[in-house]
């Protein structure tokens, strides 16, 4: 797809129904290479003058899916109109305790995914929380219509940094220095949808813009047992117990 150099961003909500972006042509799309789409430091707790614990979240795009929600078949000689309701939300399927502690879902508001060639999708507050959306579709005479919701599948890696003893320490393993990382698989179900008169099939690999990985937040790795009591207790409550070993 050729896009003039002057075009730097396209709002997919404006073009999905027209089928003018490449993502509408496939059920499943993956990036051509490992693609970081967001990096954010979250404060887990902060005690002024004493200690603080942070989680640094690095999020990769795994895939984009057009998930079929409904189809209609009109065998009459007149157009038929239907109302379709669907749900937008952010849902984590792994490391849910970490996702909740970091309020990971709301942190994706304003995050953009895409490229000049395929358009750029920016998530809004409705899509990072659970809400219902409604739309009306028209099925032409003697034709079928398929309704797909656009979903973004993400993988977030989180490591943890303790601010204590006048330095920043990355949480390591029990008896060692293997960095403890929580892996969160999640899906953002957007309010973007695709309608087609023929069912979508197939998959593709397309180029998405990505970010360069930022440096580690922390000067040293500290053995898990040598973290503060509060840090260990907090991490254990999220399922991080120092058991990951290199």
Task: For residue range 154-211, list pLDDT tens digits in order.
Answer: 999 999 999 999 999 999 999 999 999 999 999 999 999 999 999 999 999 999 999 9
Distance set, CA 91 to CA 87, 188, 225 (Å) = 12, 7, 32
> Nearest CA to 119 among 197, 25, 185, 27?
25
* Residue 233 to residue 166: CA distance in whole angstroms: 21
> Per-residue pLDDT for 88 more than 80?
yes
Question: pLDDT: is 16 or 210 the higher one?
Answer: 210
Question: How does pLDDT run across 104-131, given as a tens digit for each residue?
Answer: 999 999 999 999 888 999 999 999 999 9
Provide the pLDDT for residue 9: 33
Please check whether residue 172 lies inside any domain of the structure.
no
Phi-psi region of 222 (alpha: psi -120 to 50; beta: other; left: phi over 0): beta
Q: 75 pLDDT exceeds 50?
A: yes
More confident residue, 9 or 142: 142
- Give the pLDDT confidence score for residue 116 in this predicted structure: 84
pLDDT(19) > 50: no
Residue 12 has pLDDT above 60, yes or no: no
**Which residue range is the domain that position 21 belongs to?**
12-47+65-156+186-216
Structural tokens at position 94: 């792994």
CB 138 within 8 A of CB 159: no
Tell me: pLDDT of 16 over 70. no
On whether residue 199 sits in a domain, the answer given is: yes
Token pair for 123: 């998530």
What local confidence, expressed as pLDDT, does residue 62 receive?
98
14 pLDDT more than 80: no
Which backbone phi and psi does 138 adopt, to 5 degrees?
-120, 125
Residue 4 lies in a domain: no
Q: Residue 72 has what pLDDT?
A: 98
In a domain, 225, yes or no: no
Residue 222 domain-assigned (yes or no): no
Taking the C-alpha atoms of residue 105 and residue 91, their distance in angstroms, rounded to an integer, is 8
Residue recorded with tokens 């009459």: 76
When mean pLDDT is compared across 8-22, 90-104, 200-214, the lowest value belongs to 8-22
pLDDT score at 21: 76
Percent of the chain past pLDDT 70, that is, above it, reads 92
Q: From 193, 151, 112, 199, select the one nearest 28 (Cα to Cα).
A: 151
Average pLDDT over residues 53-80: 98
Distance of CA 166 to the CA centre of its chain: 34
- Quick one: pLDDT band at residue 15, thresholds 50, 70, 90? very low
Mean pLDDT of 22-29: 93
8 Å CB contact between 107 and 43: no
Give the Cα separation of 129 and 171 in Å (integer): 30
* Number of structural domains found in the chain: 1
pTM of this structure: 0.88
DSSP-derived secondary structure for 16-78: TTTT-SGGGG-SEEEESS--EEEEEEEEEEEETTTEEEEEEEEEEEEEEEEEEEEEEEE-SSS
Confidence of residue 11 (pLDDT cuts 50, 70, 90): very low
Asked whether residue 3 is domain-assigned, the answer is no
- Local confidence band at 20 (pLDDT 50, 70, 90 cut-offs): low
Unique residue bearing structure tokens 């007149």: 78
- Structural domain includes residue 102: yes
Kindly give the pairing relationship between strand 36-47 and strand 220-222: unpaired
Start-to-end Cα distance in the chain: 44
Q: Calculate mean pLDDT across residues 94-109.
A: 96
């Amino acid at each position: 797809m050729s896009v003039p150099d002057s075009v730097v961003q396209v709002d997919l909500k404006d073009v999905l129904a027209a089928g003018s972006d490449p993502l509408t042509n496939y059920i499943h799309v993956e990036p051509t290479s490992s693609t970081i789409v967001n990096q954010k430091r979250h404060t887990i707790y902060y005690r002024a003058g004493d200690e603080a614990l942070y989680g640094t979240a690095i999020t990769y795009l795994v895939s984009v899916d057009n998930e079929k929600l409904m189809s209609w078949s009109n065998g009459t000689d007149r157009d038929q109109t239907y109302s379709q309701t669907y749900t937008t939300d952010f849902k984590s399927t792994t490391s849910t305790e970490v996702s909740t502690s970091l309020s990971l879902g709301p942190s994706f508001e304003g995050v953009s995914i895409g490229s000049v060639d395929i358009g750029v999708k920016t998530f809004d507050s409705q899509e990072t929380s659970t809400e219902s959306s409604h739309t009306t579709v028209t099925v032409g005479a003697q034709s079928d219509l398929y309704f797909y919701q656009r979903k973004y599948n993400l993988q977030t890696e989180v490591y943890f940094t303790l601010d204590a003893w006048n330095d920043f320490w990355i949480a390591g393993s029990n008896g060692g220095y293997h960095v403890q990382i929580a892996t969160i698989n999640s899906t953002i179900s957007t309010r973007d949808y695709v309608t087609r008169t023929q069912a979508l099939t197939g998959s593709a690999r397309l180029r998405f813009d990505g970010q360069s990985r930022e440096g580690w937040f922390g000067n040293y790795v500290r053995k898990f047992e040598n973290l503060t009591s509060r840090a260990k207790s907090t991490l254990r409550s999220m399922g991080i117990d120092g058991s990951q070993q290199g």
